[in-house]
Structure 1
Amino acid sequence: MSATDVTRFAPEWLALREAADAAARAAELLDPLRHGLRVPADASRLPDEDATLVIRDLGCGTGSMGRWLAPRLPGPQHWILHDHDPALLELAATRLPRTADDGSPVTVSTDRGDVARLTAEGLAGTSLVTASALLDLLTREELDGLVAACAGAGCPALLALSVVGRVDLAPAHPMDAEIADAFNAHQRRVDQGRRLLGPDAVAAASVAFARRGMTVQVQASPWRLGPGTAPLTAEWLRGWVGAAVEHRPDLASRADAYLRRRLEQCEAGELRVTLHHSDVLALPRPAGGAS
């Protein structure tokens, strides 16, 4: 069983969060990423002969990472979208931008399957592996496999929007910390035999990439939710509190009252939430070992 087998996200939720994701992504990592990209030696195998940068988007969902990143990278690109859901793959493929930062063409193909089974051989000819909101859904073994594949192929990785276990709400409420702790425990749960990394994923990935000789940069990428994001904030609140209660059913009666109060504040434009994430960029070290 894998992360892609057991985790499914509705297109409506992915659409609701896309603007917040785009605003949160760590643009500071773009310059080092551009300098670390390489054109694969076997780019001629691609459907479009002009495609040079080969980018694999793992767990692509509706393609929000591609919509954000492709127009920010120069040069011809070929995106290979990976997901378990054929409907999401079809949607993502049709909505990917068709031009890069400098007007070069962007082409796309899809690959349905388990992203946790990628190998260095399978990544041969890949310029970049990227993913959004995926790391925290992996087990340590799946993460180690992904890191080994990227390092073995000499392939950079940009892994965005992983939760780190911190949420700040204003105004504060006495139950905030208790709900947050229960939610974090839920994120680290055993799911059908798989122990998820949850908020430990960013630290685990940073260590794993460094052990494989890659240079790692981590940047904060928080959601900042307020009066202008009320529909997203309300949906996030329901999911956040619901996961906490799933892990700790004894919270149910108090959590119901807490959620009602928070939703009232959200509707009134009184609630602000900072949901902390981090983006991880891992780059192969240049020949000779310089970092």
Structure 2
Amino acid sequence: MSTTDAPRYAPEWLELREGADAAARASGLLDPLHGYLRRGDAGLVIRDLGCGTGSMGRWLAPRLNGPQHWILHDHDPALLELAAVRMPRTAADGSRVTVAVERGDIGRLTAEDLAGTSLLTASALLDVLTRDEVDTLAKACAAAGCPALLALSVVGRVKLTPAEPLDAELAAAFNAHQRGAGMLGPDAVTVACEVFARRGMSVRAHPSPWRLGPDESALTAQWLRGWVGAACEQRPALAQRAEAYLRRRLAACEAGELRAVVHHSDLLALPRPAGGTR
């Protein structure tokens, strides 16, 4: 994904979703990760790809012990600046957290780029990459012996309560839209598991669904608009029915009567040590 082709995300949307992201993240993947984290002289070096406003760093840095140096990658200089300012400055045990930023193409990282990196992280990134870009990422991680924690990739399943007949059609159209321009969309986690494993890494995936109720109505409403809009862009014939559908759904959301489960998955890829497994 080149700097010019990468999608741009409004800080307001990223901030709106941060609470749901934090609640959804698969914290159970941290235990198997700990044993693989390599600490250099300066502690952990963590690269956050497509960092956005830095929500991964704000969630993860306070859950890891020891000094940390975070290198934030994004194509958007405004997001990089915001993320750097808002990063935590202390780890779980009070150790120092430092931050650097890098702007550029995250789709062409090499093992040399990851030299000295203890962990590569990303959130909501896999589904906007192509198969070749994921393979390039897996190849670099495997060659560098660098673990990867790749969170909150969409998997193409949504459950709305109460249900409506149009739900399934909109979901199918949205999923097709997400596969546009060669992006993996809802196939990202399946493909990434396959690709990282083929590169010799040990892979595990864990569900990380958004569970949205009355307390998350602002996020639900914004997500609904984007979900229906993308579906109609993919299938314009849905537009007339979708307009009435969206009005009903937004009214139910405002009344606190709508619940949504938007399924995602977190993926942890760990290097296999030479001479065996652990």
Q: TM-score, normalised by structure 2?
A: 0.98
1:3, 1:116 within 8 Å by CA — same for their partners in 2?
no
The corresponding residue for 1:5 is 5
The corresponding residue for 2:266 is 279
Q: Deviations over 1:45-73 (max 9, x none)?
A: xxxxxx31000000000000000000001
* 1:155-170 correspondence to structure 2 within 5 Å: 155-170=146-161
Matched, 1:118 2:105: no
Partners of 2:167 and 2:189 in 1: CA distance = 23
* 1:99-114 correspondence to structure 2 within 5 Å: 99-114=90-105
Matched, 1:128 2:119: yes
The corresponding residue for 1:46 is none
SS in 2 for 1:274: strand
The corresponding residue for 1:27 is 27
State the shift of 1:285 in Å: 1.1
The corresponding residue for 1:68 is 59
* 1:1-291 correspondence to structure 2 within 5 Å: 2=2, 5-40=5-40, 43=41, 51-190=42-181, 195-291=182-278
TM superposition outliers: structure 1 runs of 4+ over 4 Å = none
Aligned residues: 278
State the shift of 1:3 in Å: 7.0
State the shift of 1:289 in Å: 2.2
State the shift of 1:82 in Å: 0.2
RMSD: 1.0
State the shift of 1:238 in Å: 0.0
SS in 1 for 2:5: helix
Q: Deviations over 1:211-249 (max 9, x none)?
A: 111111110000000100010000000000000000000
State the shift of 1:33 in Å: 1.1
Residue 99 of structure 2 aligns with an amino acid whose one-letter code is: V
Partners of 2:2 and 2:191 in 1: CA distance = 18
State the shift of 1:167 in Å: 0.2
Q: Percent identity?
A: 74
Query: Can you give the 5+ residue segments of structure 2 that lack an aligned partner in the other structure?
Result: none
